[in-house]
A = this chain, B = another copy of it.
Amino acid sequence: MPQDLTRDLMDLIERGRDRQLRLAVTGLSRAGKTAFLTSLVDQLRHAGLEARLDLLSASRKGRLLGAQRVAQQDLGVPRFPFDQARASLEQDPPCWPEPTRGISELRLKIRYRPSRQAWLRPETVELTLDLFDYPGEWLLDLPLLEHDYLSWSQTQFDEAGPTRRAMLATWEREATQLAPDADADEARLAEISELYASGLRQAREAGFSNLQPGRFLLPGDLRDAPVLQFFPLPGLANWSQERLAALPESSIYASLARRFRYYQEHVVRPFYREHFRRFDRQIVLVDVLGALTAGPERFEDLSQALARLMQSFNYGQRSLFSRLFTPRIDRLAIAATKADHVTPEQHVRLVGLLEALLAEPLKNLKYANIPVKAMSLASIRATEAREVKHQGRITSALKGTSMDGEPLLTFPGEVPTRIPSADFWERQGFNFIAFRPQPSAPGALPHIRMDAALEWLLGDKLE
């Protein structure tokens, strides 16, 4: 399309001068995308003055002069609601920002002094930073491109545990009654699809992440459209591929398969084509602590979801992704968020657990030579670390305010450094406590290691 071409050309020109970077933030629901992006923008806007960004080299050396929001390029993409997010943190009592829906965008112009002055090189330079925020659930749909409707139907529940299956019980009861060769009744298929979608929503509410198709959870303008009204058909094992392929267009099987294909072509692919393939760098946020609190089934589910999600960043020669799209992302960060919800000495363990959780995908990425870094951070620090005497011993604790406004001094528990065994779950588990943001203060938002994240994601571009 000419529009895309113009946009690409403009990109190319700016990129040629190495002055533009498209950085994407994603994560599964409740991973903290909005808080991360709000803090990132806030830190850069305060850079050079109040922001504490010592781990960002350009800032430490005083070369980072600040950042300003400017008009974004894609007029059809919602603007990231930075002002609203900032305002909710400034309320009394302060509130966490409202989560975003779908994709959103914000453009910053960052001003800095290059590390080496040279003849004809200006004293200050600008980097245009395009920030994108999109639901990690959309990436869970990538593997769906590898399937046809038959194979997708047959593999959908291979990995689901008992709690998740129970959430789809009502749907399953109805769906198993459908004969693949019977005539499709649109209204009936819509009803059963709604049962399926409602099971997915219920699972998300209950803390599960490995949910597919992702758009069922955020339908937007496609609400009530047939493209979002399909589901895996049970009982296909008794049917041969040939017999299924020969069924008439009006049959239940053919109708659902048609919708599945439409979903692949009109929902999944366009996201990769129009957005994903244009990102330069990516950070994936993971709420490891939340999953640790939610118990073994959800923890295992998160692990599967992450493995699935990470396929989008695997550009290895034989990967699904590289066969489908031209990759571009040249640097990747994976961050365990909400690090302020454990005591400081646990941070190393948190990164260890994140790496254990992502062991397989990280191995693949390294093999494919994609620079990737795992870290832990708190986008907006809500607690302070304290030392307390407990039974004659000095231990560390967190001081903060509960969501109800109660002052808390607590030790949420130890983070295991490897995938927890059955023993861990029985013996102790982990008790994640939600804190309210700290009362607003002048200057940049308090954080933990946002500067390390910035250094990895754009430090080299500020040289």
Contacts and interface: CB of A to CB of B under 8 A. Distances in A.
Contact of A226 (B69, B71, B102): B71
A225 B77 contact: yes
A183 to B, nearest CB: 9
A20 interface: no
Contacts of A359: none
A71 B186 contact: yes
Contacts of A77: 225
Given A70-B186, A221-B221, A259 B81 contact: no
A252 B303 CA distance: 48
Nearest to A100: B224
A266 B3 CA distance: 10
A220 interface: yes
A41 B77 CA distance: 37
A237 to B, nearest CB: 26
B262 A81 contact: no
Given A83-B187, A221-B102, A250-B71, A227 B258 contact: no
Contacts of A76: 222, 225, 227, 262, 266
Given A72-B186, A250-B71, A224 B258 contact: no
A255 interface: yes
Interface in A100-158: 102, 104
Interface in A2-38: 3
A100 to B, nearest CB: 9
Given A102-B221, A221-B102, A224-B104, A79 B186 contact: yes
Contact of A78 (B75, B224, B265): B224
Tell which of A3, A72, A75, A227 has the most Cβ of chain B within 10 Å: A75
A217 interface: no
A70 B258 CA distance: 15
A312 B184 CA distance: 37
A224 B221 CA distance: 14
Contact of A75 (B104, B226, B250): B226
Copies in the assembly, this chain: 2
Interface residues of A, number: 33
Nearest to A227: B75
Interface in A224-281: 224-227, 250, 255, 258-259, 262, 265-266
A78 B186 contact: no
A221 B271 CA distance: 14
A333 interface: no
A222 B266 CA distance: 17
Nearest to A187: B83
A259 B186 contact: no
A186 B71 CA distance: 6
Contact of A225 (B78, B226, B259): B78
A405 to B, nearest CB: 30
A226 B70 CA distance: 12
Given A70-B186, A220-B220, A221-B221, 19 more contacts: A3-B265, A70-B250, A71-B226, A71-B255, A72-B186, A75-B225, A75-B226, A75-B266, A76-B222, A76-B225, A76-B227, A76-B266, A77-B225, A78-B223, A78-B224, A78-B225, A79-B190, A79-B225, A81-B224
Interface of A: 3, 69-72, 75-79, 81, 83, 102, 104, 184, 186-187, 190, 220-227, 250, 255, 258-259, 262, 265-266
The 10 closest A-B pairs by CB, nearest first: A78-B224, A75-B262, A75-B227, A220-B221, A75-B226, A221-B221, A78-B225, A76-B227, A71-B186, A76-B225
